[in-house]
């Protein structure tokens, strides 16, 4: 027989079992979750280095001297005295034109000069004789004046003949074409046997490669600093040929234009390079680095450490307890993958240069080696920036 007491007891036992199960579930829910794993990062130490402050520009190389050789007279080209691409010295023979017609013109001018010289001599003798006859009262003064006029006319004719002879000799001299400068010859445009016209065709172009110039522009805002450096002494410039495997030349600024281009807000400059190895070539594009000053003992970090946020640029610092700290910084000049830090970092502090996306401010980090071991030394401070 089921009594009320037994029913109450059964209900109590059921409620007790449910409480135990609920307590067990709560205990499981109260277990602490596992901690977040440390972020894997690559770091580099901030260091003090002497950093040259440089201004970058793109320039075009041009010959310090360039001459397009043309003939000043017409005639047949009978001699080409060089090979294309040859280096020549000033005064070296380049071309010879057929001189025969010009030699004949010289001989004709010489003959005319000799004839008029004889006429002048006779006219002077006649004038001197008639001048004496005037004194003796044999002839009139008008007759003597006529012979004086003839002598003066012969003198003028003689001067004209001399000028004609000089011109003929000059024309004959133009038959021989010599190099006006020292340099390297280009492509031969007209070959032997062709007839050339005066001032018509460029026969060959000569470019002086040593020294050589670079023409480039800088922003107007940099003009004051460049002028100050030029007033203090020579301003050095490094020219590098992109994609050439390290071809570079050191030079100096030699020219500053007298006006700023109002359209672009830039000003033109020239730099001269010795180019003794002839690595730079006219028409070549080069990257120029203009050294303006040197920042001594500047704090530098690898440029990839810098991040940009809503409040400006910052870096992640790894503290001694292996936690990350976000640090606002004021960056300065950039040079060869290193950035000067004006404020915000002290030398020796470790900055994160790879793995920033995994870093949480205040979170744990684990430092790993860079994927490129050869770059490890450079990332850890490396040699001083030159």
- Cα 306-312-316 angle, rounded to 5 deg: 40
| Residue-level pLDDT at 381 | 47
Beta strand extents in the chain (DSSP E only): 39-45, 47-69, 75-80, 87-88, 93-97, 176-178, 183-185, 195-196, 204-219, 236-240, 248-256, 266-273, 285-302, 307-309, 312-318, 324-328, 330-335, 338-343, 350-354, 365-367
| Residue-level pLDDT at 34 | 56
The average pLDDT across 300-315 equals 91
| Residue-level pLDDT at 225 | 87
Percent of the residues in the chain that have a pLDDT greater than 70, as a whole number: 87
Beta strand extents in 18-126 (DSSP E only): 39-45, 47-69, 75-80, 87-88, 93-97
- CA 167/CA 233 separation, integer angstroms: 50
Judge residue 3's burial from the number of C-beta atoms within 10 Å of its C-beta, 0-12 exposed, 13-18 middle, 19 or more buried: exposed
Note the pLDDT tens digit of each residue in 49-79. Answer: 888 888 889 999 999 999 999 999 999 999 9
Q: Cα dist. 268→211, 246, 271, 288, 311 in Å?
A: 19, 26, 10, 13, 38
Which phi and psi (to 5°) does residue 127 adopt? Answer: -65, -40
Statement: residue 6 has pLDDT above 80: no
Statement: residue 24 has pLDDT above 80: no
- CA 28/CA 57 separation, integer angstroms: 67
**Diameter of the chain measured on Cα atoms:** 198
Full DSSP string of 61-79: EEEEEEEEE--SS-EEEEE
- CA 234/CA 273 separation, integer angstroms: 13
- CA 269/CA 237 separation, integer angstroms: 11
Judge residue 367's burial from the number of C-beta atoms within 10 Å of its C-beta, 0-12 exposed, 13-18 middle, 19 or more buried: middle
| Residue-level pLDDT at 206 | 97
The pLDDT-based confidence of 216 (bands split at 50, 70, 90) is very high
The average pLDDT across 241-269 equals 91
Note the pLDDT tens digit of each residue in 339-373. Answer: 999 898 999 999 999 988 888 888 888 888 776 65
| Residue-level pLDDT at 8 | 53
| Residue-level pLDDT at 204 | 97
The average pLDDT across 114-140 equals 84
- CA 91/CA 170 separation, integer angstroms: 17
Q: List Cβ<8 Å contacts ≥24 apart for 159-165.
A: 161/109, 161/112, 161/113, 161/116, 161/117, 162/113, 164/109, 164/112, 164/113, 165/106, 165/109, 165/110, 165/112, 165/113
- CA 234/CA 14 separation, integer angstroms: 99
Statement: residue 19 has pLDDT above 80: no
Question: 167 with 33: CB under 8 angstroms?
Answer: no
Whether the bond into 35 is cis, omega within 30 of 0? no
Pairing of strands 307-309, 285-302: unpaired
Statement: residue 10 has pLDDT above 60: no
Pairing of strands 285-302, 47-69: antiparallel
Q: Please, what is the angle between helix 141-173 and helix 100-136, to 10°? A: 160
Note the pLDDT tens digit of each residue in 223-237. Answer: 998 999 899 888 999
The pLDDT-based confidence of 375 (bands split at 50, 70, 90) is very low
| Residue-level pLDDT at 124 | 86
The average pLDDT across 263-286 equals 94
| Residue-level pLDDT at 133 | 82
The average pLDDT across 113-119 equals 91
Question: 315 with 329: CB under 8 angstroms?
Answer: yes
Instruction: Give me the domains of the chain, ranges plus CATH numbers.
Output: 35-67+216-386 (2.40.420.20), 71-98+175-201 (2.40.50.100), 100-173 (1.10.287)
């Amino acid at each position: 027989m089921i009594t009320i007491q037994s029913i109450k007891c059964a209900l109590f036992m059921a409620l007790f079992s449910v409480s135990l199960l609920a307590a067990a579930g709560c205990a499981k829910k109260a277990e602490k979750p596992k901690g977040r794993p440390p972020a894997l990062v690559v770091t580099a130490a901030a260091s003090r280095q002497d950093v040259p402050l440089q201004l970058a520009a793109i320039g075009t190389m041009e010959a310090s001297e360039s001459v397009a050789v043309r003939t000043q007279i017409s005639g047949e080209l009978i001699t080409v005295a060089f090979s294309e691409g040859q280096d020549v010295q000033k005064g070296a023979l380049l071309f010879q034109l057929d001189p025969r017609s010009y030699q004949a013109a010289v001989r004709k001018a010489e003959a005319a000069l000799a004839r008029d010289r004889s006429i002048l001599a006779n006219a002077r003798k006649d004038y001197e004789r008639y001048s004496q006859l005037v004194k003796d009262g044999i002839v009139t003064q008008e007759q003597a004046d006529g012979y004086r006029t003839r002598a003066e006319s012969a003198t003028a004719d003689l001067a004209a003949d001399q000028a004609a002879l000089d011109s003929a000799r000059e024309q004959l001299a133009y038959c021989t074409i010599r190099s006006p400068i020292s340099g390297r010859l280009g492509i031969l445009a007209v070959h032997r046997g062709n007839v050339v016209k005066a001032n018509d065709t460029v026969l060959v172009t000569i470019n002086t490669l040593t020294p050589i110039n670079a023409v480039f522009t800088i922003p107007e805002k940099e003009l004051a600093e460049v002028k100050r450096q030029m007033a203090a002494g020579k301003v050095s410039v490094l020219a590098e040929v992109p994609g050439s495997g390290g071809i570079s030349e050191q030079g100096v600024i030699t020219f500053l234009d007298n006006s700023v281009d109002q359209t672009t807000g830039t000003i033109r400059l020239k730099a001269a390079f010795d180019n003794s190895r002839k690595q730079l070539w006219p028409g070549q594009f080069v990257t120029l680095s203009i050294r303006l000053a040197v920042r001594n003992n500047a704090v530098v970090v690898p440029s990839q450490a810098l991040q940009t946020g809503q409040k400006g640029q910052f870096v992640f610092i790894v503290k001694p307890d292996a936690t990350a700290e976000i640090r606002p910084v004021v960056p300065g000049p950039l040079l060869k993958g290193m950035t000067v830090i004006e404020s915000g970092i002290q030398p020796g502090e470790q900055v994160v240069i790879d793995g920033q996306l995994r870093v949480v401010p205040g979170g744990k980090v684990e430092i790993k080696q860079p994927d490129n071991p050869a770059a490890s030394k450079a990332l850890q401070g490396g040699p001083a920036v030159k």
